[in-house]
Structure 1
Amino acid sequence: MPVYWFAVSFVDTVNVPRAILVFVILHLLVYPSSNGYNSYMDRDDGSIGGIEKPPPPTKQLFFVTVVMDVVAVVLSLFVSSLFASCIVIYILCSRLYSYRGIRLKQYPLLGYLTVIFNQGALTFFMVYHGVDSNLTNHMSFIGLLAAAFLIGGFYPITQIYQYEADAKDNITTISMKMGKKGTFIFCSLMYLLALALLWSYYRNHELYKPFIVLLIFFSPVVVYFVQWFLKVLKNETLADYKHTMQMNWLASTCTSLAFITIILLQKFG
């Protein structure tokens, strides 16, 4: 959702009905289907995503994800053929990431790049295109790159409590390669790069107010992140599910609110 609002904040003239349709396709169909398929392939029995004790995945879950994907693609055609193509690419990448016959997630770098491309740059591109009143495919490269870095700075943290489960499943995540402390440092650098890119964009367009809004809303995230990191330096067991989910919800909420506020300022400020 943060990437959705981020992309919308870059659009000059928003087509509201299409913006609603794009939101529904992504958040009620594509994302849940992707998560459901991943759980089906992983056979999760430990904490995953926002569920501490997930129910065992069934065959019905697989069929539901297929139906949701088909509905998403059909609805996407009402946006544009390009948008529908992007949705198909997203679904294929997410399946290749999880499917046990290929399982891109088992490769630390390739899996990581798949995620930041899919959930970052590709999502920014298709939201921008679908929401723009002219259905343009010309957009800021800085926006695409910043979206990738924002996801790149967030995703490894979500893997930090799953080392044992991933190791049992023969998965080596980028977070496992860097270690818990290294993951915190890496994510900090990625977020700094994203902010540097955004500062460059806003400064070049003399849009200082949006950047100030970002700093204000990102402040609680930074405070929590630093406090959590200091705790982990003393005791690595605190890089656990509870703290990860708290960080997840705080970062998602604050980032979404930041870009929603920027959109409101652009329209009414």
Structure 2
Amino acid sequence: MKISPFYKITRHWGQIAASILFLFASGLTILYYIQHQELQTLAEQDVIVRSGDSGTSQVTLPDGTLVRLNANSSLTYQQNFGQNNRKVKLSGEGYFEVKKNTEKKFIVNTGYIDVTVLGTKFNLYAYEDKDIIEMALVEGHVNVSTSQPPYQTICVKPNEKVTYNKYDNKLNIEKTTTKIETAWLNKELVFREEKLENVFQCLSRKFRVKFSIDSSVSVDDVYTGAFDDEKIEDILEVLKIHYGFNYTVKDGKINIRMNK
């Protein structure tokens, strides 16, 4: 049987068209893959919210959760937050009002402990340069777990706080009114097991004064408390009673020395 030239030409161009279609389809597949990878990479990129050296910041996450950050704090989460999970990372101090979602737990990581909730209000203190991490529960229920051995998990109820010591990797739980832990929300000065030296440094920055501290004063002593008074003299009076030192104020300079 003799094949006509027309059939040969048609078959030839059909093969070329099929090849072009295959290359086009392959190109679309590769383009889709590249775009998908780019979108995936973009979705996994971190969003970082930072507060300044003073004052507070506020952020509302895509799921409706409200987070207030204290000074020198940061909150990190992925662009696709809420799609697959609700995980964030905190450095510093933050107050969380978590939007309830029974299908997706809300998890805060600090590098040492994880706080897992469904929907609740709590304060988390987790500065990298501090020896302790502290979670105080205002409302609801949370689980606090260590991310380093020895592994522990504690179920926390309202008006309880969990403290994690970075040196012994242990969790401790105790009762609290959450007044001290949340005082910063009302712009109060708050100190947690802070060395007296650091307390004076904080007061120096806030009130723009200079301290001269005599060697007789033990600046390594620690202090825990909150002040809502804006007068430095009233704050010094409280510290004076607590530590037994005396002070004088002159030309923006405060001299601290122990009573003889």
The interval holding the TM-score normalised by the smaller chain is: under 0.3
Higher helix content, 1 or 2: 1
Higher strand content, 1 or 2: 2
Larger Rg: 2
Higher relative contact order (CA 8 A, sep 6+): 1
Q: Provide TM-score, normalisation by structure 2.
A: 0.25
